[in-house]
A = this chain, B = another copy of it.
Amino acid sequence: MKSPLLIVGSLAFDDLEMPTGSFKNVVGGAATYCSLAASFYSPVRIVGVVGEDFGDATLADLRARGVDTEGVEHAKGKTFRWHGRYADDLMSRTTLDTQLNVFADFNPKIPASYKQTPFVLLGNIHPALQSAVLDQVDRPKLVAADTMNFWIHGEPAALGELLKRLDLLIINDEEARDLSGISNILRAAADIRKRGPNKLIIKRGEHGALLFDDDGVFFAPAYPLEQVLDPTGAGDSFAGGLMGSIASLGEVTPVGLRRAMLFASAMGSFCVEDIGPARLQKITRVDLAARIEAFRRMVDFGGELSLPA
């Protein structure tokens, strides 16, 4: 049964210096990308904070997609702003400026109408705030979270407490190595799973993503694209697509989780095809169904696989 998904995280303006040009005031933030991606699969409830400069267009667009924006706090001041420059090959990026603005005092308040949301996705914020969200909700079926090196190094104790409360951690390979102190990805995964989350997803950008759970390892490739314009938000689109498709089933099953990895990768592949969330805002369900079919073909080996006699 289709269930709602609670997403907590940043809403932002990004100034992007890309090889293809400069783009200012691009709507961004983890919660934005996560909810856009998840909204194709399930109803979404979003918690975040925006400043007086955010306007209502983005939130109205999200509402039109079935995203409940009651949990978006409107604070005095300016919205969180990130300014970054990407390398020519888009494989790395440099932060030129970060203005936390209203995000500096963000303290997520979960509306009463959100408290019984069965699926929860905690975007990358201070791990103590991620834990504070969990204090405010009634025993979800699945709690997933993202984090980053800044918290891994700066707030190890708070992050350690959070990890014990997670069902699923979604990070990239560099973060997995930093968190575990282990460079081998299999051993890093085993170490991290012992710290709390039974399920772990390690993202490898254009090289796909690995799921580690009690069923072993599952691999979801990234979709090869003729042109990548902007990787911003791809990881969040992946996480949103993943959790949205799990919420659409209403329960967590091994095969559902594996398929969710492919639905997630499909959302990540759309995200990078235009600047900011522009492509995600434009795609239709027909586009998405076609991309999912392309994914199926890319990994379909006919089900059977056994050593020839």
Chain A residues close to B by CB (< 8 Å): 2, 40-42, 184-187, 204, 207-208, 210, 215-219, 221, 224-227, 245, 248-249, 255, 258-259, 261-263, 285, 288-289, 292-308
Q: Contacts of A245 on B, CB cut-off 8 Å? A: 308
Give A219 Cβ to nearest chain B Cβ, in Å. Answer: 4
Contact: B292 with A296, CB < 8 Å?
no
> Contacts A219-B298, A221-B219, A301-B262 hold; do A184 and B227 have CB atoms under 8 A apart?
yes
Q: Contacts of A295 on B, CB cut-off 8 Å? A: 305
> Contacts A225-B186, A226-B186, A226-B187 hold; do A219 and B299 have CB atoms under 8 A apart?
yes
> Contacts A298-B219, A305-B296, A307-B288 hold; do A224 and B204 have CB atoms under 8 A apart?
no
Give A212 Cβ to nearest chain B Cβ, in Å. Answer: 9
Contact: A302 with B226, CB < 8 Å?
no
Q: Report 21 cross-chain contacts, Cβ distance below 8 Å, ordered by A residue.
A: A40-B307, A41-B308, A184-B226, A185-B224, A186-B224, A187-B226, A207-B208, A208-B208, A210-B224, A215-B297, A218-B297, A218-B299, A218-B301, A219-B299, A248-B308, A255-B302, A259-B304, A262-B301, A262-B305, A292-B306, A300-B303
Complexed CA–CA distance, A307 and B267 (Å):
12
Complexed CA–CA distance, A294 and B305 (Å):
10
Complexed CA–CA distance, A169 and B207 (Å):
22
Q: Which chain B residue lies CB-closest to A289?
A: B307
